Amino acid sequence: MLWINLAGMALIALIIWWFWTYQPPNIALQTGAIDIIVKDGVYQPSKIKISANKGTTVTFTRRDPSSCAETLLIPDLEINATLPLNKQVSVVIPASPQGCYAFHCQMKMYVGELIIE
């Protein structure tokens, strides 16, 4: 009986950890190339950091055949790109002021964040 209770508590703790505290790994890069893979419902990495007032190029490679993933939108920067399957596409991020800029696919199944600081 005690073991069942302990196992149950451990499971609950694991569920709480997974859903409330677990954050997928982020990659923060200030310089150099940033490559994002579009796959399995997530941008990898989904959070990227770049320097303010300094443009950069981010490449996207779509590995998800669903057509919705084909469109990449960064509304605040007025960027709209088409990502053909399995092709690396360079997206030029213009020099921009500090802030958080969301990027996503057409239906927002894929979501990511561009942090400019």
CB of 65 to Cu ion, least distance (A): 12
Q: Does 34 bind Cu ion (CB under 5 A)?
A: no
Question: Dihedral of the CA atoms 77, 117, 50, 102 (nearest 10)?
Answer: -40
Ordered DSSP codes for 10-58: HHHHHHHIIIII--------SSS-EEEEEETTEEESSEEEE-TT--EEE
Choose between 12 and 109: whose C-beta lies nearer to Cu ion: 109
Q: 44-73: which residues touch Cu ion (CB under 5 A)?
A: 68
CA distance 117 to 110: 23
Token representation of residue 86 = 């399995």
Instruction: Work out which of 95, 109, 111, 117 binds Cu ion, going by CB under 5 A.
Output: 109
Give the nearest distance from C-beta 82 to Cu ion in angstroms. 13
- Indicate whether 105 belongs to the interface with Cu ion (CB under 5 A): yes
The CB-of-6 to Cu ion minimum distance in angstroms stands at 42
CB of 107 to Cu ion, least distance (A): 4
Please answer whether residues 90 and 81 qualify as being in contact, where contact means their C-beta atoms are separated by less than 8 angstroms: no
Q: Which residues bind Cu ion (CB under 5 A)?
A: 68, 105, 107, 109
